[in-house]
Structure 1
Amino acid sequence: MKNLILLILLAGPLAGKIVEYDLTISETTLSPAGKERTALTINGGIPGPTLRFREGDTARITVHNDLPKEETSLHWHGLLVPNAMDGVPYLTTPPIPAGGERVFEFPLTHAGTYWYHSHTGLQEQRGIYGSIVITPRGGESVKADRDYVLVLSDWTNENPKEVMRTLMRGSEYYAIKKGNAQSLVGAWQAGALGDYIQREKTRMPPMDLSDVYYDAFLINGQASSRLPARPGETIRLRLINAGASTYFYAHSATGPLTIVAADGPEVQPTPVNRLLIGMAETYDVLIKIPESGSWEFRATAQDNSGHASVFLGSGPEQFATPIPAPNLYSMDHMMEAAMDSMEDMNGGMDSMSSPEGERPNAPYRQLKARTSTALPSSAPVREIELHLTGDMTRYLWSFNGKTLAEDSTIPVRHGEVLRIKLINDTMMHHPLHLHGHFFRLLNGAGNRSPLKHTVDLPPMGSQTIEFLANEKGDWFFHCHLLYHMDAGMARVFSYEKATNPEHEPALDPKLINPTFFITEGMLLNNHTMGMAMFMRGREDFGLRWDYGFEHEEYEADLFWAHYFDPNLTAGIGYRFTNQHEAEDRFFAEVDYRLPYLIDSSLALDSEGDLRVGLGKEFQVTDRLSLFAELEYDTNTELESSAGASYLLNKQFSLTSSYHSEHGFGAGLSFRF
């Protein structure tokens, strides 16, 4: 059958056998990064076992939840399964309660490399993932002497919930720890001071290739390992990026990698020197072992903060050429990725060619399906546009400016072709994954456009995908950067909503505006000031304080604030004070971010007094910052402060400042 998309999506399995697996999810103490930590494992290990099948088999997988207090789930990533078997808790499949079990059974209608992982909270980051290999009925069309599964992942010694809380409060600590923080001195040393100032003028936060500092990067659960191989052999490597928030460059000391499959389906063999793999993508690649030596395959984190290695063969070690460090101050590479994606979208595969760089973008322009993937010409086509939106400082991620909690559902009608234009309005990569369907990635290859289930959107870039709506039920669509999904970058494609407008998908409560408590401030020898608040979605509820030790004067605000966008927040509150000629009062306040990332505020209180404020932080080096604030109140008149702060660790900085009301002071800044 020439039409591959119909073969994959519509064909039922030929007679096959039932293949059974038992998977047990439990807590175990492991040390992937040299320190013992509580991890979540499948059958005692990270990753879980490789589940192997043949196309046409029926999978019967019993999942046991041995966690003492947590529910869990497993999603069969990339597999076309009945809606009830998809494994997204609440949406398609009930969660597996602590001490409970669930049997998943489904036919395997298509071959390739896939994987499975928890879709509950942040459990995937803690170790619940594993691989799936489905061999074609007639065997692999491209033969290899050996076949290895390589599961790439990232590991943090922190509890992922604490990671998320750190991200929510806009901390730059992870960038500093990785050596990727931007500063005035860093920009000057890079010859990019003008770019740095221009970025701040346009109110853009510093670029970052990843959100989280990781203590280790792993391949099959290890930072370094060895696999047998003989000189002259051709090895198939089944690469799976199971990282929670890490893009990897795959590269090998053996030379180019030949891509033969992407996200499961085969593609026309194409060589690449280095391969950028987004979270949740899979690629099958071939390498050929040279005559002698132990040859390194390396997976390097996109931000160059670390790598993991597998050595193939025996003899002297031959190392892969290191990936050059990124230039975070230059927009050139980001814009190149954006231009490449727009060329793909506009059918520019053959009209524009450029040599592969040392830090290549996703290889989509080179991918071509082995047979036609054209969709039925009789199907009606509906086009929609989704903008990827968000803010690193607030850590709120969304589509078209709305999180999953604010706009959860996109209706889809059975039988239509849905063509989706994806436009990334942010300065980060996003890997977007669609459950229950393969989509065509419109990369300029026409009828041979490749089939995928996950697509990378580079910063400020675009991609267009399309799929035939031939399912039923509710299907998840989300950013596979785990913390972005948790912060709201998700939707549900709902067949039910199209026929019943009253239908509302059942969403996991953990994905609906999780609440975090944060506090930060200064404790100096002359005064203390700071803030403690609960953050939930766009809402803040908290307390601000300012207390001078010498005169024992205080001001404390109980407040509620609503975040509109990266530049605008507004709120109301009640102020308690014992300052001279002041009294307790209600107030309303608007905070607005000006060009050059200057914070401004305007407040009006119930006594008719007006307060205007300006503030700016100057990041001199990665750890040293200067700050200045100016405030005018029609009652208390002018106040000003300026100081310096040197970061010691995630929680504390040494700080000194001069305040017009409190004088000179020194002590600690804190963040929890």
Structure 2
Amino acid sequence: MTPRMSPPLGRRELLRMGMTIAAAGFLASCTKSPAGTGAPQRITADSPRVSAVEAARRGASAGVRQVTLTPAPTQIDLAGTPASTWAYGGRVPGQEIRVRQGEILRVQTVNNLPAPTTVHWHGLALRNDMDGVPGLTQPEIPPTGVFDYEFAVPHAGTYWFHPHVGTQIDRGLYAPLIIEDPDEGANYDHELVVILDDWIDGTGTDPDQVLEGLRAKGMPPMDHSMGGMGADPTAPLGMDSGDVTYPYYLINGRVTADPQATTYRAGQRVRLRIINAGGDTAFRISIPGVPMTVTHTDGFPVQAYKADTILLTMGERVDAVVTIPGSSVPLVAVPEGKNGFAQLILRSGDTPVRGRAEDAAMLMKSQMPLDTATLTAAPEVQLQRREPDVTHDVRLAGPTGKYTWTINGKTYDPRDGLPVREGQRVRLRFVNDSMMFHPMHLHGHTFAVRDSNGGFRARKDTVLVAPMKTVQVDFDADNPGQWLTHCHNIYHGESGMMAVVSYVQD
């Protein structure tokens, strides 16, 4: 018989094979201490322990959801103004991925960008080698390269995904990841995903150039009209709310002059899943005259709380249920400490919009917004009280020089880390020694925010650390690997404000 010859490998297959070989060598190089030295060794992303924990997450009959993700250059329309950007599938936000808790998610990522990229699955306690951090958990995906992400989906909730390379997150590369709980009884009629963003890409500059400018010239002058720390309790971020001036603010990819409109019937209940995908901007969210009943923060349920205005920093999410009134109303997002606003119209049948979004935006600035970290986790997800086995101070400082941000006096080094061991209760003390706020995000885990009495508040993965304040969080070290903790202001993170929570073993 004549043997059948395998077809020649194409460019993508060769790149995929090369990336696999590179990944093996790269991950092996991340082990900090050679065996036999007596020093603890890092549990790296390719560790058998990472695979074992992932295997335990997978049910025998778990369904599989397969998706293809294609980051590529595209052009979007900003109310008649074209802007060149990068996006998933040619749209901003990218197409929503929706799966059920316990399923396996497979995402083939085909990089059609002119630059390397990765995908980070924000907020998920997934396996370490799928976390999307170049130089720590995987190599970058080169242009025309392919990377297959596959992991069990552990928790229900509102999540999202974005790159973890340079300032790419401040382009259009983001999309929602919604994980449904099959046992959750819906107490609402509809869902609406609301993604907030600050926009500068393709408007005569891009985020890379913005970062270069900050590094060359330093921070812009502060707006002292906001007042000093403690001068105004309705200004929780203090007098310096960001480093970048944006020409547009978006909701679901639409600017203020061309808002999205969704139509419901009066009396219907809508679950809002709100995500702040901004690079440098915290937002206040409000619906004039319509209270929002907050049910979840960062994917985890809280004891229901009614709020008129919610503060959401970069990377945070909040779920809230609203009842559609008898007239149409705007959902308004105001950038904290900046000019402008974004809006989305909640239509009640064919009724006209009640009130002006501009007036609502002005009123919102004088209100005390809700910080979702102050909410109380629902009983079923509360962390059990336990003294920590290890406590790490995470001191946030900067800028030094022109534009350097540090953790514990150092800029990011993937070879360095805050050591923890599997099974420990870990406490992180985020100590903000700077005059800017920092939304601190921990990869691969959800922590419990501690209150001033030593109790626990909300379960979160991203928490606001206000200027000159300290926030303490506890988590259980149950997901081995190498995990970033960093400021989700992309310009702070890329200028050094990142560190590694490093699982080690003897």
Bin the TM-score by the shorter chain: 0.7 to 0.9
| 1:247 aligned residue | 282
Q: Does 1:256 align with 2:291?
A: yes
| 1:460 aligned residue | 468
| 1:367 aligned residue | 376
Maintained 8 Å contact 1:373/1:447: no
| 2:314 aligned residue | 279
Q: Aligned partners of 2:245 and 2:60: how far apart in 1?
A: 47
Aligned pairs, number: 436
SS in 1 for 2:108: strand
Amino acid in structure 2 at the alignment position of 1:360: P
Percent identity, aligned pairs only, is 33
- Distance of aligned partners of 1:12 and 1:20 in 2 relative to their CA distance in 1, 3 Å threshold: closer
2:166 to 97, 121, 128: 121
CA positional deviation for 1:271: 0.7
Q: Is 53-62 or 390-399 further displaced after alignment?
A: 390-399
| 1:213 aligned residue | 245
- Distance of aligned partners of 1:11 and 1:106 in 2 relative to their CA distance in 1, 3 Å threshold: closer
- Distance of aligned partners of 1:37 and 1:74 in 2 relative to their CA distance in 1, 3 Å threshold: same
Q: Aligned partners of 1:116 and 1:264: how far apart in 2?
A: 14
- Residue pairs, 1:369-408, within 5 angstroms: 369-371=378-380, 373-375=382-384, 377=386, 381-391=389-399, 394-405=402-413, 408=416
Amino acid in structure 1 at the alignment position of 2:380: T
Q: Aligned partners of 1:466 and 1:34: how far apart in 2?
A: 47
Maintained 8 Å contact 1:323/1:359: no
Q: Aligned partners of 1:170 and 1:324: how far apart in 2?
A: 32
Q: Aligned partners of 1:9 and 1:16: how far apart in 2?
A: 12
Q: Aligned partners of 1:389 and 1:406: how far apart in 2?
A: 19
Amino acid in structure 2 at the alignment position of 1:59: L
The superposition leaves residues 563-606 of structure 1 with CA deviations (integer Å, 9 ceiling, x where unpaired) of xxxxxxxxxxxxxxxxxxxxxxxxxxxxxxxxxxxxxxxxxxxx
The superposition leaves residues 342-396 of structure 1 with CA deviations (integer Å, 9 ceiling, x where unpaired) of xxxxxxxxxxxxxxx704252322333232523485x862122222101277211
CA positional deviation for 1:467: 0.8
Which structure has the larger Rg over C-alpha atoms? 1
CA positional deviation for 1:34: 5.2
| 1:614 aligned residue | none
Q: Does 1:294 align with 2:328?
A: yes
2:491 to 474, 483, 491: 483
CA positional deviation for 1:326: 10
Q: Aligned partners of 1:123 and 1:232: how far apart in 2?
A: 40
| 1:222 aligned residue | 254
Maintained 8 Å contact 2:390/2:420: no
SS in 1 for 2:369: coil
CA positional deviation for 1:244: 0.8
| 2:188 aligned residue | 144
1:473 to 476, 481, 485: 481
- Residue pairs, 1:442-461, within 5 angstroms: 442-443=450-451, 449-461=457-469
More strand, by proportion:
1
| 1:434 aligned residue | 442
Q: Aligned partners of 2:302 and 2:399: how far apart in 1?
A: 36
Q: Is 107-116 or 10-19 further displaced after alignment?
A: 10-19
- Residue pairs, 1:10-409, within 5 angstroms: 13=59, 15-32=61-78, 35-67=81-113, 69-139=114-184, 141=185, 143-156=187-200, 157=203, 158-170=205-217, 181-182=223-224, 207-223=239-255, 224-291=259-326, 293-313=327-347, 314-318=350-354, 319-320=356-357, 321-324=359-362, 358-360=367-369, 362-371=371-380, 373-375=382-384, 377=386, 381-391=389-399, 394-405=402-413, 408-409=416-417
Amino acid in structure 1 at the alignment position of 2:104: T
CA positional deviation for 1:254: 4.2
> Under a length normalisation based on structure 2, what TM-score does the superposition of the two structures give?
0.80
CA-atom RMSD, angstroms?
2.8
SS in 1 for 2:209: helix
Q: Aligned partners of 1:17 and 1:9: how far apart in 2?
A: 14
Unaligned regions of 5+ residues in structure 1, if any? 1-7, 200-205, 328-356, 500-672
Q: Aligned partners of 2:59 and 2:408: how far apart in 1?
A: 39
CA positional deviation for 1:35: 4.0
> Under a length normalisation based on structure 1, what TM-score does the superposition of the two structures give?
0.61
SS in 1 for 2:379: coil
CA positional deviation for 1:71: 0.9
SS in 2 for 1:79: coil
CA positional deviation for 1:307: 1.3
SS in 1 for 2:320: strand
Maintained 8 Å contact 1:478/1:491: yes
Q: Aligned partners of 1:9 and 1:367: how far apart in 2?
A: 32
Maintained 8 Å contact 1:407/1:491: no
Q: Is 304-313 or 387-396 further displaced after alignment?
A: 387-396
Q: Is 126-135 or 379-388 further displaced after alignment?
A: 379-388
- Distance of aligned partners of 1:424 and 1:14 in 2 relative to their CA distance in 1, 3 Å threshold: farther
Maintained 8 Å contact 1:324/1:358: no
